[in-house]
Amino acid sequence: MATQRILDFLATRRPSGPCLVVDLDVIEDNYKAFERALPSAKIYYAVKANPAPEILRMLAGLGSSFDTASVAEIEMALDAGASADRISYGNTIKKERDVARAFEMGIRLFAVDCVEEVEKIARAAPGSRVFCRVLADGEGAEWPLSRKFGCEPKMAVDVLRHAHKLGIEAYGVSFHVGSQQCDLDAWDKALADAKGVFEALEKEGIVLKLVNMGGGFPTRYLKDVPTAQAYGEAIFASLSRHFGNRLPETIIEPGRGMVGNAGVIKSEVVLISKKADNDNVRWVYLDIGKFGGLAETMDEAIRYPIATPHDGDETAPCILAGPTCDSADVMYEKTPYPLPLSLTIGDEVLIEGTGAYTTTYSAVAFNGFEPLRAYVI
Amino acid sequence: MATQRILDFLATRRPSGPCLVVDLDVIEDNYKAFERALPSAKIYYAVKANPAPEILRMLAGLGSSFDTASVAEIEMALDAGASADRISYGNTIKKERDVARAFEMGIRLFAVDCVEEVEKIARAAPGSRVFCRVLADGEGAEWPLSRKFGCEPKMAVDVLRHAHKLGIEAYGVSFHVGSQQCDLDAWDKALADAKGVFEALEKEGIVLKLVNMGGGFPTRYLKDVPTAQAYGEAIFASLSRHFGNRLPETIIEPGRGMVGNAGVIKSEVVLISKKADNDNVRWVYLDIGKFGGLAETMDEAIRYPIATPHDGDETAPCILAGPTCDSADVMYEKTPYPLPLSLTIGDEVLIEGTGAYTTTYSAVAFNGFEPLRAYVI
């Protein structure tokens, strides 16, 4: 999955220490694939997936909008050249003073999932549009979401009615089908729920306009995933089924699906050892781990492809761990990772599909190790 | 657990945003308590627990030595005024070029747990002393360690023999009984194993001198923990039982036990909401979470005491979550946390016992949120 441009960069620049290299061409291709797959949907790139300024600038240039999680991310999107009307404040958990700062910067589209949040928006961002996030069950997702964001659809009706009453625009509904969602039908049930909220409010004379279909679009790790085109077709079919010829405005918020496969982490094998003479499984320690950018290996949730200089040689199972003095800094142990028996201390390995959710997850200085460096090329 | 000095600082300075405040007086008391409890042991403060320069300087002044995990931590300890002979490179996972850099800086004491690491030391730090870490079962620890560090005692004999053969000094044995270890007997079995390694090598004419008894000393969270004095007595009794009147040099490496109870995180309630009308459990969202410094709430491992302005009022169970758009950023859900029903959005809460393993675990900029700020007073 490492592109020739990434391989050339690593071969020429030979950066020392672990680093992420991101290929902008791949992101451009991904953006265009989403555009083609869902031509009627607006693309709001989920900035949190990878907020590198080069990425934001390129996407802004391509016409992308931006889903942001904080005032700092709003500033990054503005700095990248996006106008405020292309930015949503998509975090359902906001301090009222942050809502006010976003409003001052021109942001008029906010996510909510409870009346308390609606009241903050009414006070600090009068006249803005809100969409209410509803819970989705996340079935079929490799990483189903907790109930942290969203409310039951029945409550969403109350939340949006409250917004309307307070003079802000009850604009729509959002949901998130779960991260790395490979079930093309996952959007269908959520769209049915969304349609239910539209109908309940329409009876009261409140006409919603937007369905924010969130993210969840996967990146390819070890297994193949459906194409953007396949997602587009399935989602459009569901939209038509539930909304007929009165299609709402739609938004998608790809993050992982936009940048995941554009990045590769270069890492070094620091140590290979056993704990006892008769151990079957080797421990392989890399110079990057859970606290250096691979946080998504938590509970072994995401299993990254790893390329070594000895691919093709006979393999044996390894426990893969990071370089810190933290006993929890182990990436793969329950399901050991097969790596070549010829792998040697000092070898460089490429951890693929690491363009999303790596650099910013990285700890400030845990154990004195620097945060993950990134090169966007 | 917040000291008057911390409360005064917060009341006077009113720092905005989440922050950690550390009281140096508490750390000084802890240091002296360890000194009194184990007068024959040298104290190597585990820098990774909290490497704030003010803490390192004070401990260096009190005569502490330092257990470091990386070249950067060695530099911090040197900068704080510790001489190189008071610093150990305690990480068993080291790049050979980092061993060489440590050696150049004067470091002569290294941890190993396999022959591969011994060979790096022999090449890059000739003539140095090594201690070999043996696995301990961690029974009784609130956070038992994985098998990431250490080897079986039988293999430790081979590792230290190999060191001797390569001309570096086979200096001793280390172990770690597990984090937040509240069983006073936990050290006993590990000391028996250590003694076994001493004896096996003595038969071959290799005389070990050091037992590094590691960390594991707890800090008080919600439950009382034994005093340093109680640990000291239990450990000294075990040492005498196994080593008789030929007591080895000993080292302890308190981290959490040295700084945990010296720090308090001030945080703000961003949102309190429900997901459905009939929910029994409220969701309480703070402006700090798993990625902002509370990484040790992973798997709800550590349950911090939380003080609110409404303590004493009737409480009800809450799910406690952080402010990011990450669904995994939930601190306590399996076991909800009882908080006052009168708790309100905007309230400040104090998360106590957070002096260790918070600031440096904090993500660089996840979701655009700044890493945790710290004030050491």
Q: Per-domain residue ranges for chain B? A: 90-254, 261-376
CA separation for the pair B49, B43 (Å, rounded): 14
Positive or negative, the CA dihedral B91, B96, B98, B100 is positive
Q: Which residues of B are identified as catalytic?
A: 325
A24-259 and A261-376: identical CATH topology: no
* CA distances, B26 to each of A125, A150, A200, A276, B340 (Å): 45, 42, 59, 41, 29
Listed by number, the residues of chain A in 60-99 with a beta carbon closer than 8 Å to a beta carbon of chain B are: 68-73, 76, 90-96
Say what the pLDDT of residue A143 is.
66
Across chain B, what does the average pLDDT equal? 95
A-B CB pairs within 8 A amount to 205
Which residue in the set A69, A116, A327 is minimally distant from B149, CB to CB?
A: A327
Say what the pLDDT of residue B220 is.
83
- Give CA A304 to chain center in angstroms: 15
- Write out chain A residues lying below 8 Å of B158, CB-based: 277
Give the chain A residue whose CA is nearest to the CA of B111: A325
> Closest Cα of chain A to B245: distance in Å?
31
CA separation for the pair A43, A59 (Å, rounded): 10
- Write out chain A residues lying below 8 Å of B76, CB-based: 368
Say what the pLDDT of residue B168 is.
97
Q: With a cut of 90, say whether residue B191 has pLDDT above it.
A: yes
* CA distances, B132 to each of B172, B176, B211, B239, B259 (Å): 6, 12, 10, 18, 26
> Closest Cα of chain A to B156: distance in Å?
9
Q: Is A19 a catalytic residue?
A: no
Give the chain A residue whose CA is nearest to the CA of B90: A325
- Write out chain B residues lying below 8 Å of A269, CB-based: none
CA separation for the pair B87, A114 (Å, rounded): 53
Say what the pLDDT of residue B181 is.
85
pLDDT 10s digits, A211-248: 999 988 888 888 888 888 998 999 999 999 999 999 99
- The one-character DSSP state at B134 is B
Which residue in the set A158, A345, A368 is minimally distant from B69, CB to CB?
A: A368
Are residues B162 and B115 in contact, defined by beta-carbon separation less than 8 angstroms? yes
- Residue (of B26, B7, B22, B24) closest to B348 by Cα position: B7
- Write out chain A residues lying below 8 Å of B364, CB-based: 359-360, 362-364, 371
Q: How confident is the model at residue A136 (pLDDT cuts 50, 70, 90)?
A: confident
* CA distances, B284 to each of A68, A116, B288, B331 (Å): 21, 12, 11, 10
Name the token pair of B303.
Answer: 């349950």
pLDDT 10s digits, A61-120: 999 999 999 999 999 999 999 999 999 999 999 999 999 999 999 999 999 999 999 999
CA separation for the pair B61, A103 (Å, rounded): 50
Main-chain phi, psi angles of A150, to 5 degrees: 100, 165
- Write out chain B residues lying below 8 Å of A275, CB-based: 113, 135, 147, 150-152, 155
- Give CA A185 to chain center in angstroms: 20
- Residue (of B330, B373, B376, B377) closest to B19 by Cα position: B373
Q: With a cut of 80, say whether residue B140 has pLDDT above it.
A: no
Name the token pair of B245.
Answer: 């009147």
Are residues B200 and B192 in contact, defined by beta-carbon separation less than 8 angstroms? no
pLDDT 10s digits, A335-372: 999 999 999 999 999 999 999 999 998 998 899 999 99
Q: Higher pLDDT residue, B140 or A77?
A: A77
Q: With a cut of 80, say whether residue A325 has pLDDT above it.
A: yes
Q: With a cut of 80, say whether residue B339 has pLDDT above it.
A: yes
- Whether residue B91 and residue A325 make contact (CB cut-off 8 A), yes or no, is yes
Say what the pLDDT of residue B143 is.
66
| Range from A42-46, A326-330, B5-9 carrying the lowest mean pLDDT | A326-330
Please state which CATH number belongs to domain A24-259.
Answer: 3.20.20.10
> ∠ CA A168-A174-A175 to the nearest 5 degrees?
150
Q: Which fold has domain B261-376?
A: Lyase, Ornithine Decarboxylase; Chain A, domain 1 (2.40.37)
Say what the pLDDT of residue B180 is.
82
Name the token pair of B191.
Answer: 């000391």
Query: What's the whole-number mean pLDDT along residues B100-128?
Result: 98
* CA distances, B144 to each of A225, B121, B137, B290, B332 (Å): 37, 29, 8, 20, 20
Query: What's the whole-number mean pLDDT along residues A137-156?
Result: 83
| Range from A302-306, B25-29, B135-139, B362-366 carrying the lowest mean pLDDT | B135-139
Strand partners, A87: A66
Structurally, at CATH architecture level, domain B90-254 sits in Alpha-Beta Barrel (3.20)
Give the residue ranges of DSSP H helices in chain B: 4-13, 24-37, 53-62, 71-79, 96-104, 115-124, 153-165, 186-202, 228-243, 256-259
Q: How many alpha carbons fall within 13 Å on the CB side of residue A147?
A: 17
